[in-house]
Amino acid sequence: MTDDKVCTVCGDAECKEGHQVCHTCFSMAQAEDFAAPAKDGGFMETFRKGITTTNPVFILLLGLCPTLAVSTSLDNAFGMSAAVMFVLLGSNIIVSMIRKWVPDIVRIPTFIVIIATFVTIIHLSMQAFVPPLSKSLGIYVPLIVVNCIILGRAEAFASKNGPLQSLSDAFGIGIGFAGAIVLISFFRQLLGTGILELFGTKLVEVPGLVDHPMNIFVLPMGAFMVLGLALAAFRYMGVMENE
Amino acid sequence: MSDLISIFIGMALINNFILTKFLGLCPFFGVSKKLNAAISMGLAVMVVMLAASLVTWVIYYQILLVYEIEYMQIVIYILVIASLVQIIEMAIKRTNIQLYNALGIYLPLITTNCAVLGVTFINTQEGFGLVEALVAALGAGFGFTLVLGMMSGIRERLELADVPESFRGIPVAFLVAMILGLAFLGFGGIV
């Protein structure tokens, strides 16, 4: 998309670290992380990779905006995951089916229009069928259109692989995203309110916390703290590598 | 007038796009290592936000509402922003080559920056008039640039700091963002 040679991650004209940046969002995925998984991997292999080694949130650091913004409660997290999963499945399948007819030069605009169409579908459906959820997710549902996970998968995977592979990739990445956002919202809701609630059913109630909840976790700052600590913990345990 | 000021402060400081709305986080962590790059990026975002707010306002109220096709909002907005960025890039390239060198490389990359799309959705959602929408865009862009600049200054220092190994790089940047956010909570009392 750009014709200059400046690395957008480190601003170095002769970046040797092979940074490859998602053009949507500057996400600092390294070249090998962002590349499509090996083509010879089977359905399950591609699926597994989406959850573990190419987990969109914890490893690639993509799609941070919705992850942090709507992870205040488990309801929101599941709603957001479902919306992202729907758009990801739809766009990955359509993109992989039309990949041979789309000229390279109009590739990105085409993908964006496809994604925007699916986002419109899910946005209107949520408004119609689950108005409270739609209201609490707010502008973050329409903003799925610029979620770099989806454009990233369309560009890096679906435009190079067949529909079946792309389907499994979408499932894997979608579940990887869901796992991350649910994990974060679990801690935020539990510590921030003392009550763990899922679609109106009370799951857990921590006695002392209910009266004196740690409000910071439901505030926006809490999201930064939880994700920062989670990343550090994963590194400490060796699940993901240091920079 | 006081309405406009409170919109500006609300968008820039109280509901800061990065720290409380989480919009534009990727450039926040991606380019915020160098101060100059951060400021240029912020200015580019501000220019595009202003232009996008203007164009989407006209399109929404003069076309989408008139013909009752509001459901096309998402598709139209993203296309408007994508083409607007291209036009602005070409215009700057022709007229002011110095400005192009400063902002040029960031322009294509913010085509689908969620902060830009976010401000247009917020304008429509809040039912802002044209002037209010422009002030909101200005405020959002200002707040974005401010926080991006602050963060880059802090991260330049962080490079030299002795951070525990697991926290080095991105995790500590998140914690810094948290502390910045706590500081910005104090602006809540202004309006």
DSSP string for A66-111: HHHHSTTSHHHHHHHHHHHHHHHHHHHHHHHHHTTTS-GGGHHHHH
Give which of B166, B180, B182 to mutate to test A binding, by max A Cβ within 10 Å: B166
In Å, how far are A80, A144, A237 from B23, measured between CA atoms? 16, 12, 30
- Say if residue A32's pLDDT is above 60: no
Please state, as a whole number, how many other Cβ atoms lie within 10 Å of the Cβ of residue B126.
11
Q: Cα separation of A158 and A155, whole Å? A: 6
Q: Which residue has the higher pLDDT, A241 or A71?
A: A71
A181-220 pLDDT, tens digit per residue, is 898 898 888 888 877 777 777 777 777 777 777 888 888 8
* Contact assignment for B114 to A147 by CB distance below 8 Å: yes
What confidence tens digit (pLDDT) does each residue in B17-60 have? Answer: 888 888 877 777 766 677 877 787 788 888 889 999 999 999 99
- Average per-residue pLDDT for chain B: 84
Report pLDDT for A41. 56
Classify burial at B1, counting beta carbons within 10 Å of its beta carbon; exposed 0-12, middle 13-18, buried 19 or more.
exposed
Strand partners for A197: A202
Establish if A15 touches chain B: CB-CB under 8 angstroms.
no
Chain B environment of A19 (Cβ under 8 Å): none
Residue A37 has pLDDT above 50, yes or no: no
Establish if A9 touches chain B: CB-CB under 8 angstroms.
Answer: yes
- Cβ of B31 within 8 Å of Cβ of A11? The answer is yes
- The complex's ipTM works out to 0.82
Identify the closest residue of chain A to B122 by CA–CA distance.
A139
- Give the chain B residue nearest A220 (alpha carbons): B20
Residue of B nearest to A217 (CA): B178
Q: Is the pLDDT of residue A237 over 60?
A: yes
**B74:A146 CB<8 A:** no
Please tell me which residue, B115 or A210, carries the higher pLDDT value.
Answer: B115
Which of A12, A60, A145, A146 to substitute to test the interface with B, most B CBs within 10 Å? A146
- For residue A240, what pLDDT is reported? 56
Q: Which of A9, A28, A224 to mutate to test the interface with B (most CBs of B within 10 A)?
A: A224
Domain boundaries in chain A?
A: 37-236
* Lowest mean per-residue pLDDT among A100-114, B8-22, B24-38: B24-38
pLDDT category of residue B82 using cuts at 50, 70 and 90: confident
Paired residues of A202 in beta bridges: A197
pLDDT in tens, A1-21: 333 344 444 444 444 444 444
Chain B residues in contact with A181 (beta carbon < 8 A): none
DSSP chain B: -HHHHHHHHIIIIIT-TTTTT-TTHHHHHHTTTSHHHHHHHHHHHHHHHHHHHHHHHHHIIIIITTTT-GGGHHHHHHHHHHHHHHHHHHHHHHH-HHHHHHHGGGTGGGTT-HHHHHHHHHHHHHT--HHHHHHHHHHHHHHHHHHHHHHHHHHHHHTTS---GGGTTHHHHHHHHHHHHHHHHGGGG--
Which residue among A65, A219, A235 places its CB closest to the CB of B25? A65
**A210 touching B (Cβ < 8 Å):** no
The whole-number pLDDT of residue B138 equals 92
Identify the band that residue A42 occupies on the pLDDT scale cut at 50, 70 and 90. low
The per-residue pLDDT for B97 is 81
Decide if A76 contacts A136 (C-beta within 8 A).
yes
Cβ contact, residue pair A2, B24, below 8 Å: no
Q: Could you tell me the CA-to-CA distances from A13 to A9, A29, A169, B157 in Å, in that order?
A: 10, 18, 34, 22
Q: Per the CB < 8 Å rule, is B74 touching A120?
A: yes
The C-alpha of A2 sits at a distance from chain B's nearest C-alpha, in angstroms, of: 7
